[in-house]
Amino acid sequence: MAINRWRMDLHVGRSFITEKTNKSLLAPWEYIPDVNSTRLPVTILTAKCQHDRCLNNMASPVRFNQALRVLPITYNIRVYYRERCQDPRHYKLVPGTFEVTVGCTCARA
């Protein structure tokens, strides 16, 4: 009896926002890998907001705008969690959702 084997491309691509572009935003963030060995994909890049207040434009002498706060932008993605079967050599994949922070934005405080 043949066993069907399949492969899943779990490569995490680069963001379309470059580091240089991200640094010029009013609500900059950095990407942090979230790693979970029981989840597929194992690694998911998630944004971490660098400040809790929005930056002013470069012409302003005040660094932070107290009227604007930084909010994360989130998106739910489908992931699969490994769950052990009775036979320890096998596992099943259980679908689930994972909330990913994809960036940060400014909103009135």
Q: How many domains does the chain have?
A: 1
Write out the residue range of the structural domain in which residue 23 sits: 19-108
Measured between alpha carbons, how far is 90 from 83 in angstroms, rounded to an integer? 9
The answer to the question of residue 39 being in a domain is yes
Encode pLDDT of 33-43 as tens digits. 999 999 999 99
The answer to the question of residue 104 being in a domain is yes
The answer to the question of residue 48 being in a domain is yes
Instruction: Inform me whether the pLDDT recorded for 31 exceeds 60.
Output: yes
| Six token digits for residue 77 | 């993605």
| Six token digits for residue 78 | 């489908």
The answer to the question of residue 9 being in a domain is no
The answer to the question of residue 27 being in a domain is yes
Measured between alpha carbons, how far is 104 from 108 in angstroms, rounded to an integer? 14
The answer to the question of residue 13 being in a domain is no
Encode pLDDT of 54-64 as tens digits. 998 766 777 88
The answer to the question of residue 80 being in a domain is yes
The answer to the question of residue 1 being in a domain is no
CATH number of the domain where residue 67 is located: 2.10.90.10
Q: pTM here?
A: 0.72
For residues 104 and 27, is the Cβ–Cβ distance under 8 A? yes
Fill in the DSSP letter of residue 45: E
